[in-house]
Structure 1
Amino acid sequence: MSTMRAIASYRGLPIDDRESLQDVEVPTPQVGPRDVLVRVQAVSVNPADVKSRAGLAPTTEPRILGFDAAGVVEATGPEVTTLSVGDEVWYAGDITRPGANADLHAVDERIVARKPASLSFAEAAAMPLTTITAWETLFERFALTKDSTGTLLALGAAGGVGSIMIQLVKELTGVRVLASATRPESQEWVKQLGADGIVDHHDLVASTRAVAPDGVDYLFSPHSRGNIEAFAEIVRPFGHITAIDEPEGLDLLPLKAKSIAWHWELMFTRSIFRTPDMFEQKKLLETVAGLVDDKRIRTTLTRTIDDFSAAGLREAHRLVESGRSTGKVVVTR
Structure 2
Amino acid sequence: MHAIAAFAGLPIESHEALVDVELPMPDHGPRDLLIRVEAVSVNPVDVKVRVARSTPDHPRVLGYDGAGVVEAVGAEVTGFAPGDEVWWAGDRSRPGSNAEYQAVDHRIVAHKPSPWSFADAAALPLTSLTALESLRDHLRVDPHAAGTLLVVGGAGGVGSIAIQLAKRISALRVVATAGREASAEWATAMGADAVVDHRDLVASVRAAAPDGVHHILSAYTPGNIAAYAEIAVPLAGVVALDGGFEDTAPLKPKSMSLHLESMFARPLFGAADLGRQGEYLAEVAHLAERGLIRTTANEHLDGFTAANLREAHRRVESQSMIGKVVVHR
- Give the TM-score category using the shorter length: over 0.9
Residue 5 of structure 2: aligned partner:
8
Counterpart CA distance in 2 for 1:191 and 1:212 is 16
Matched, 1:276 2:262: no
Counterpart CA distance in 1 for 2:8 and 2:79 is 37
Using the TM superposition, name which of 55-64 and 99-108 deviates more. 55-64
Counterpart CA distance in 2 for 1:9 and 1:167 is 34
Give the AA of the match of 1:274: G
Alignment partner for residue 299 of structure 2, among 303, 308, 312?
Answer: 303
Counterpart CA distance in 2 for 1:246 and 1:219 is 15
Residue 179 of structure 1: aligned partner:
176
Residue 83 of structure 1: aligned partner:
80
TM-score, reference length from structure 2? 0.99
Deviations 1:14-42 (CA, angstroms, capped at 9, x unpaired): 11100000000111101111000000000
Q: How does 1:207-286 map to 2 (within 5 A)?
A: 207-247=204-244, 250-286=246-282
Give the AA of the match of 1:9: A
Residue 155 of structure 1: aligned partner:
152
Using the TM superposition, name which of 53-62 and 88-97 deviates more. 53-62
Give the AA of the match of 2:88: Y
Structure 2 SS opposite 1:27: coil
Alignment partner for residue 30 of structure 1, among 1, 20, 27?
Answer: 27
Percent identity (aligned): 53
After TM superposition, what 4+ stretches of structure 1 lie above 4 angstroms from structure 2? none
Give the AA of the match of 2:74: G
Deviations 1:208-256 (CA, angstroms, capped at 9, x unpaired): 11111121000011111111111111111110000111116x3111100
Structure 1 SS opposite 2:185: helix
Counterpart CA distance in 2 for 1:173 and 1:225 is 28
Structure 1 SS opposite 2:41: strand
Q: How does 1:308-327 map to 2 (within 5 A)?
A: 308-327=304-323
Give the AA of the match of 2:265: T
Structure 1 SS opposite 2:23: strand
Residue 192 of structure 2: aligned partner:
195
Residue 200 (structure 1) shift: 1.4
Counterpart CA distance in 1 for 2:173 and 2:125 is 24
Deviations 1:249-278 (CA, angstroms, capped at 9, x unpaired): x31111000000111111111101111111
Matched positions, count: 329
TM-score, reference length from structure 1? 0.97
Structure 2 SS opposite 1:232: helix
